[in-house]
Structure 1
Amino acid sequence: MNHRHFLAAASCLAAAAMTVPALAQEDSNSLTVGIGAAVIPSYEGSDDYRVIPIPQLRGKVSDFAFWTRGPGLYFDAIPNTDPNGLDFQLGPVVTARFDRSGLKNIKDDAVRALGKRDVAIEVGGFAGIGKTGVFTSAYDNLSVRVAVTKDVAGAHKSYVVTPAIEYFTPLSTRSFVGLGVSADYVGKRYGRYYYDIDAADALASGLPAYSDAGNSAGFKRVGVNLTGGVSLSGDLRKGWALFALGGYARMLGDYGDSPVVSIAGSRNQWAGAVGIGYTF
């Protein structure tokens, strides 16, 4: 699981709450659909929060896996058929970034005065490796993945690199817990688009002018999330299940120093989600 930006990154955290671990994915064909509600910052770097719905989808067709993460769709082009639980991952990803695209969702007057940003459509791929049966049982799973995407819609016109490490373990056939750590490395045009403030914007918003975020590429944020789930049918492999998630991220470097974050928002970013899913 992967993929983090923060309006979209918080959505991705909520997506992890809809993920059933290896215990529920033994069949070569499966489908889990879910719906949840997430509390996330009103924009990436905000200290105000809002509630958004999170629909989710995850499944396998002939051992080819696919899943959504917030507004993103992933497809693993390498089938998961290794009898020893080793899973090589490689495939395409496409996602949408809605950060600051709707001014009505921004509660801070100064950031609202900076104007809205266009929706970014980020297209790319991911690669990783996972192993089922690592520490606690034959069904726990440890995975490492890197996703690389680029905006093709002409919004920030830059790239995002997202490394992630995730661990899930079933506590029984009825419940599981998981822990994930991820980060975002972005190009300089990304920082310039979302975090720099020119003279005209400074005059309109009352925030000081700022240009450091667009000077170079760098790590924008690092985050950790804890997930858990319990089956209502008694078996995670079928039927209804409830999920919950809590996440924390920290804005880094010049991105965290931007007045959009340091004055109007906060480096500390929190997210939470609850949801329900059904596995066929």
Structure 2
Amino acid sequence: MRISEIQRLSAQGSIGLILCIMPSVACAEDVNVGFGFGVAPSYLGGSDYIIVPLPSVSVSSGPVIVRTNNLGLEAGIEITPTLTIGAIGRVDPGRNSLFNVRDAVVQKLRKVSPSVELGGFVEFRLPLNGNNEPGATLFTRIAAEKGLEGGHGGLLIESSMGVFAPLGARTSFAASAFLNWQDQRYANSFFSVDAEDARASGLTAFAARSGVRDIGVSVLFDRQIGGSWSAGFVSSLGRLQSSASASPIVMQRGSATQLFGGFTISRRF
């Protein structure tokens, strides 16, 4: 598994998003295609879970890589062996829009329409063995995405830090911690309950604020299973914080604890 893919997945967390696992071997030029399934909350802060598809595509040539990022793509360029920067374009599924909410009360809240998000990311890697030989690597990633008008319209900043290590010749492992921050518009879209929502749903009116959205940990495994094929597993545990966890959408109808698990099969061409 590419360290850059592990950074991206860890930063994204697990809350109601389609995550992607990428194959293991990095080389000058390659194409990786994979698909699988995962289990995730049906909306941000929800306690009902749905099965989501996990498609993944990664195309690299020299220092440039283009890969899936949730419902979208990101393109990065390796500036140095330890630094990669890039741009992100994706769609946030919103609430009760692309994925149906099962909770009858939350269904009565205004829908959060899918939002086109544009942004960028920076990734850092630090080999622990101090050379280019395979070994454990520390990594960190910071990304920011701004939703365009028509959806949530807010800003989300994602960050993660962790360690990647090969476990033998065919297996790799990563563990990381993540922290995500939301601005006022993002928080208001997903966690506020205005007067109209309160009348329709019976929930208490609530005004969400900007701040840390969630924190959590992620664990990822990837194993080559023969030839150019590999299998990947990702699991994460997130916990909503501050204004997000205090929202009646979460406290009364959902859960501040957000889990995700997924499995993919992929092939390198």
- TM-score, with structure 2 as normaliser: 0.89
Q: Which residue of 2 aligns with 1:274?
A: 263
CA shift, 1:115, in A, is 2.8
- Displacement of 1:230 in angstroms is 1.6
1:134-165 Cα deviation digits (max 9, x unpaired): 49x62433221111111124312111111111
Give the Cα–Cα distance (whole angstroms) in 2 for the partners of residues 177 and 132 of structure 1.
15
Aligned to 2:174: 178
**Runs of 4+ more than 4 Å apart:** none
Deviates further, 126-135 or 162-171 = 126-135
Structure 2 counterpart SS, 1:264: coil
**2:112 aligned partner:** 117
Q: Supply the RMSD in Å over aligned alpha carbons.
A: 2.1
Aligned pairs for 1:1-280 within 5 A:
1-2=7-8, 3-4=11-12, 6-8=15-17, 11-12=18-19, 15=20, 17-20=21-24, 24-25=25-26, 27-79=27-79, 86-102=81-97, 105-132=100-127, 134=129, 138-211=134-207, 213-214=208-209, 217-233=210-226, 239-280=228-269
In structure 1, how many angstroms separate the alpha carbons of the residues matched to 2:99 and 2:59?
35
What amino acid sits opposite 2:201 in the alignment?
S
Structure 2: state its 5+ residue gaps: 1-6
Moved more, 34-43 or 91-100: 91-100
Find the aligned partners of 2:110 and 2:220 in 1 and give their Cα distance: 35
User: How far did 1:78 drift?
Assistant: 2.9
Given residue 265 of structure 1, which amino acid in structure 2 is its aligned partner? G
Matched residue type, 2:212: F
Give the number of equivalent residue pairs: 259
Give 1:168 deviation, angstroms. 1.8
Identity of aligned residues (%): 25
- Residue 18 of structure 1 contacts residue 276 of structure 1 at CA under 8 Å; is this kept in 2? no
Distance 1:225 1:104 in 2: 23
